[in-house]
């Protein structure tokens, strides 16, 4: 639905959009923002590609959010994908929800691979490998990137990513849908982006991502157990470390 000009909903949406250029925390490129109170509360989520630095992430989010508001001036719910990030907002909480609407959005390279059969097989194997890796990521980032030889001195490079509020199962589901859409819209092309609200994938015949992503913090050490003294009742000793 739409909101009316100068309404409480517009005030809250403007408050959301104005936050993007003033963000002071990185959160590894994933943001959940909200403003206002029900029934005019606005919810927003934003995701930067997993290899982006903080400055490039902020720049993309600010640009995309501003363009989204300009191109969809009265919509209560809207989503936009730039090359490096996505921004969406709605009049409902979206956190953790697997979203299917819009059902398919893709943009592809007009050029075809020189050896499409071998290229497609290499791409399929690569995407399956990266999807499993991304889905197994933790709550800070679900992203994977890699490359494979596609024959005839050709390479295929790919990135896959879910919003990190997705469970592993929902991330796999979203990326499987994205790979199905890829086969429908851009199989045999030299490059393509498939865009969904909770996951994105991209492949190209040239390197388009940073091979070194911003490192995630190291997980805390696992609790250790001490062996029980002989003839004594076993006592579990746990060690906790602050990080």
CATH of the domain at 75: 3.30.430.20
Residue 166, in any domain of the structure: yes
| Shared domain check, 155 and 185 | yes
Domain boundary among 57, 90, 123: 90
| Shared domain check, 200 and 122 | yes
39 to 33, 68, 91, 223: CA distances (angstroms): 16, 22, 8, 45
- Please say if the pLDDT value at position 243 is more than 60: no
| Tokens encoding 229 | 């003294």
Q: pLDDT by residue (tens digit) across 1-54?
A: 999 999 999 999 999 999 999 988 999 999 999 999 999 999 999 999 999 999
pLDDT attached to residue 235: 31
Residue 229, in any domain of the structure: no
pLDDT attached to residue 16: 95
| Shared domain check, 152 and 75 | no
User: DSSP secondary-structure letter at 91?
Assistant: S
| Shared domain check, 109 and 86 | no
| Shared domain check, 122 and 50 | no
Structure pTM? 0.87
| Shared domain check, 122 and 59 | no
> Is residue 135 a contact partner of residue 127, using CB atoms and an 8 Å limit?
no
| Shared domain check, 85 and 111 | no
pLDDT attached to residue 223: 59
Residue 75, in any domain of the structure: yes
Give CA–CA dist 141/95, Å, rounded: 15
> Is residue 109 a contact partner of residue 190, using CB atoms and an 8 Å limit?
yes
| Shared domain check, 191 and 125 | yes
Give CA–CA dist 214/233, Å, rounded: 47
Domain boundary among 90, 122, 150: 90
User: DSSP secondary-structure letter at 220?
Assistant: P
Domain range enclosing 168: 105-204
Residue 153, in any domain of the structure: yes
Q: How many domains does the chain have?
A: 2
- Please say if the pLDDT value at position 231 is more than 90: no
Q: pLDDT by residue (tens digit) across 175-227?
A: 999 999 999 999 899 999 999 999 999 999 999 999 988 888 876 665 554 55
Give CA–CA dist 141/51, Å, rounded: 10
pLDDT attached to residue 238: 33
| Shared domain check, 79 and 160 | no
Helix (H, G, I), strand (E, B) or coil at 162: strand
pLDDT attached to residue 219: 65
Is cis: bond before 39, omega within 30 of 0? yes
Q: pLDDT by residue (tens digit) across 98-154?
A: 998 887 789 999 999 989 999 999 999 999 999 999 999 999 999 999 999 998 889
Q: pLDDT by residue (tens digit) across 164-179?
A: 999 999 999 999 999 9
Mean pLDDT computed over every residue of the chain: 89
CA-CA-CA-CA torsion sign (95, 16, 216, 132): positive
| Shared domain check, 185 and 141 | yes
- Please say if the pLDDT value at position 233 is more than 50: no
pLDDT attached to residue 234: 34
pLDDT attached to residue 232: 42
pLDDT attached to residue 242: 38
């Amino acid at each position: 639905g739409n909101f009316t000009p100068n309404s409480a909903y517009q005030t809250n949406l403007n408050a959301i959009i104005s936050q993007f250029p003033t963000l002071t925390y990185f959160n590894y490129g994933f943001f959940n923002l909200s403003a206002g109170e029900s029934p005019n509360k606005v919810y927003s989520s934003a995701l930067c590609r997993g290899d982006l630095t903080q400055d490039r992430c902020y720049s993309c989010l600010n640009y995309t959010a501003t363009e989204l508001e300009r191109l969809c001036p009265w919509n209560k719910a809207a989503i936009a994908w730039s090359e490096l990030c996505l921004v969406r907002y709605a009049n409902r909480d979206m956190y953790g929800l697997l979203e299917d609407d819009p059902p398919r959005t893709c943009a592809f390279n007009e050029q075809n691979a020189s050896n499409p059969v071998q290229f497609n097989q290499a791409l399929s194997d690569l995407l399956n490998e990266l999807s499993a890796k991304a889905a197994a990521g933790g709550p800070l980032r679900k992203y994977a990137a890699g490359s494979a030889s596609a024959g005839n001195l050709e390479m295929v490079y790919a990135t896959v990513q879910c919003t990190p509020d997705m469970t592993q199962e929902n991330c796999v589901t979203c990326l499987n849908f994205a790979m199905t859409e890829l086969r429908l819209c851009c199989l045999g092309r030299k490059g393509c982006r498939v865009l969904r609200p909770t996951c994105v994938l991209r492949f190209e015949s040239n390197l388009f991502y940073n091979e070194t992503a911003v490192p995630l913090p190291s997980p805390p050490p696992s609790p250790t157990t001490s062996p029980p003294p002989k003839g004594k009742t076993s006592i579990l000793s746990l060690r906790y470390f602050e990080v």
